[in-house]
Structure 1
Amino acid sequence: MTVNDAPREITSSWLDAALGSGVRVHDLGRPLFKGMPQSPNHPPYWHTLPRRHGDMVRADGGSAAADHISLGTHVGTHIDAFSHVSHDGELLGGISAEEAQRGGAMKALGAETIAPMFRRGVLLDVPRALGLEQCEPGYEITPDDLHRTVEQQGVEIRPGDVVLIRSGWGANFDAGAEVYTGHASGVPGVSEAGAYWLADRQVHAAGADTIAFERLLPGQGHALLPAHRVLLVEKGIHIIETMDLEELGAAGVHEFLFVLSPLKLVGATGSPVRPLAVVPEAGS
C-alpha cells in the first residue's frame, strides 16, 4: 500500500478473521521458569517479586506487585542474531568480531536488527518420516533425511520460508535439564551438510526443538557447532532454538503462517521470542 492508497474497509467479519475466528494458533514458545532446561553456557532464568502486594497500599486500598527477571538472551525459546557466532574472528559479511564487540555490546548485527517475521512456515517432521517417535540421541539429521521428509509430507520449500525441524527431542523438555540438554547422551540435530541443504533452498530462518539446533555428540556438548557457522556466519540465516513443536507435529500441520517478533535488545546477540504458527481451522 502506498501513502495515497485508501485504507481497506475493516468490517466485523474481517476483524473476526484477523482476531482468530476461523484460525488456530499453535504456540511454539516454551514457558520460562526457574530451573528450566537450558544450555549451561548461558546465564539461567531468574524471577523474583521485589515489590509485593501490601508493601505499599494506596489510600483507596489498592496495591500492586512488580517483578524482576534476568536471563541470558539464549535461554528458553530464542532467536540468534548474526552477531552470536564468529569464525576466524569474523561475523557475517566479514565484519570484525573484535571491533564489533568493543564497549560491552555488539555495534553490528545486534538483536535489534532482526526484522519481525510474518512468513510462510514449513515443519519438517523428521522422525515421523523415518517411522520413529523421536530421533535417537546424537542422531545426525542429514540432507537425505530432510529430502525424504519433504517428499513424504508432499511440501515444497520456497525461498524466504521459515523451516522448522522436529526431531522429537522436544518431548524431553518436561523431563528436566539433564535429559533435555543431553550432555551425556547427545542430542539429535541438523548436520553441517543439512545446514547447507537448507541454505541452498534460500530459507529465511531455521528452527528446531533442541537447545543447539544441530547435533550434539555424546559427552561433547557445544564443542563444535558447524551448522551455526554455516547459517549465521556464511549464509545469513537466523536460527531459532528450544521450540515446542510437539503439538504442531501431532496435528500433522506442515504448512502455516509463521509469526515471530524479537525484542529490540540493542547490541544483544539474541532475543527471547514466542513464535506462533497460524493455520485455518478445519472447514473455515
Structure 2
Amino acid sequence: MSQLTGLLASLATGEVRVVDLTNTLSSETPTLRLPDPLANLVDFSLEEVSAYNEPGPFWKHHNISTGEHIGTHLDAPVHWVTGRGGKDVSQIEPSRLVGPACVLDVSREAAADPDFLVDVEHIKAWEAEHGPLPENAWLLVRTGWDAYAQDRERFLNADETGSHTPGFTVECARWLADVAPISGVGVETVGIDAGLAGGMDPLFPMHYFLLGADKYGITSLQNLGQLPATGAVVVVAPLPIVGGTGSPARILAFVERASS
C-alpha cells in the first residue's frame, strides 16, 4: 500500500480526520481597523449577478469584493516593507504551505491578560516537553480568541488606548524569524502581531521580522483546541494571486485519532 493510499484509507476509516481551522467569510467577519489617517481594506461582500432568473436562468453566481487581508488569511513577505523584494502569494512554494503543526497553548495566560505576549521562553518550554520545532513547521498559537470570532467588538477588544489582543514580544518575533526552522506562524487573532504592537520597536515586529525572513503568517484561526501539541499536519491554501500581498485562505489540519 502506498503512503497516499494509506492516507485515503485512514481518512475513510476515521483514523485520520480533517479539522477545519478556517473562520467563515462574510460581510460580518471581524476585520482589522487602522486609525485615521491610515487607509483600511474593504470588507468582504457578495454582489448577486444572477439567481436562476433572467440574467442567468439555470444558475446562481456572484461577484465578490474583498481586501487581501480579510478573515482567515495568509500574509506573504511582500506585504511588509522588510519583505518588499520577496515573494508574493503566487510565488510561495507549495512545499512551504504544508508542514507539521506545532500547537502552543497559552489560552490560560491570554484569558488572564488579553495583552499577553508569547516570549522565547514559552517556546523553549514547549520544546523541552515536545522536542525541537521541526523543519518547515507551522507554529500555531492557541489563545482561545477563536471564541470571539463572530463578535467584532470582542474580537478586536479595542478601547481608547488601542486594541487589546495577545501576540509576541519583539525578541520572540526576531527569534522566530532568525532561529526557528519554521515556515510560518498561525494565530487566532485578527493579525499576527499583538493589538498594541503599533507601540513596539520596531512597529509590528512579527510583520517586520517574520515576513522579512521569507516566513509567513496566518490569522483568525479556529479549532486549534482540536489539535494535539504535535503530530498533526497543516495545509495552508491561499489563492495564488499574482502580485498579491496576502489572500483569504482555507486552512486544514490532518489529525490522527488518539489511541485508546
Q: Same fold (TM over 0.5)?
A: yes
The structure 2 residue matched to 1:179, chosen from 154, 178, 182, is 154
Deviations 1:11-62 (A, max 9, x none): 6x6643366742111111110011210112321010132211233576xxxx
Q: Where does residue 99 of structure 1 map in the other structure?
A: none
Q: TM-score, length-normalised on structure 1? A: 0.76
| SS of corresponding position for 1:193 | helix
In structure 2, relative to structure 1, the CA distance for the partners of 1:10 and 1:46 (3 Å cut) is closer
Q: Is the 8 A contact 1:135 1:169 kept in 2?
A: no
Instruction: Name the structure where helix makes up a greater proportion of residues.
Output: 2
Q: Is 1:215 the counterpart of 2:194 in the alignment? A: yes
How far does residue 218 in structure 1 lie from its aligned partner after superposition?
A: 9.1
Distance (Å, rounded) in 2 between the aligned partners of 1:72 and 1:217 = 22
Counterpart pick for 1:109 among 71, 87, 95: 87
Report the TM-score, using the length of structure 2 for normalisation: 0.83
AA matched with 2:48: L
**1:38 alignment partner, one of 28, 31, 40:** 31
- Counterpart code for 1:177: R
- Do structure 1's residue 138 and structure 2's residue 137 form an aligned pair? no
> Residues 48-99 of structure 1, C-alpha deviation per residue, up to 9 Å, x if partnerless?
32211233576xxxx2111121111100111111110004xxx35xx3xxxx
Identical-residue share of aligned pairs (%): 27
Give the aligned length: 247
| Residues 44 and 72, structure 1, Cα contact 8 Å, conserved in 2 | yes
Q: Is the 8 A contact 1:126 1:146 kept in 2?
A: no
CA distance in 1 between partners of 2:21 and 2:255 (Å):
13
Structure 1 unmatched runs, 5+ = 1-6, 96-107
Structure 2: segments with no counterpart, 5+ residues: 34-39
CA contact (8 A) 1:124 1:254 kept: no
1:19–1:270 distance in 2 versus 1, CA, 3 Å: farther
Distance 1:219 1:10, change over 3 A: closer
| Counterpart mapping for 1:185-204 below 5 A | 185-199=163-177, 200-204=179-183
**Alignment root-mean-square deviation, CA:** 2.9
Residue of structure 1 in register with 2:19 after alignment: 26
CA contact (8 A) 1:167 1:189 kept: no
Counterpart of 1:204 in 2: which secondary structure?
A: strand
CA distance, structure 2, for counterparts of residue 139 and residue 9 of structure 1: 41
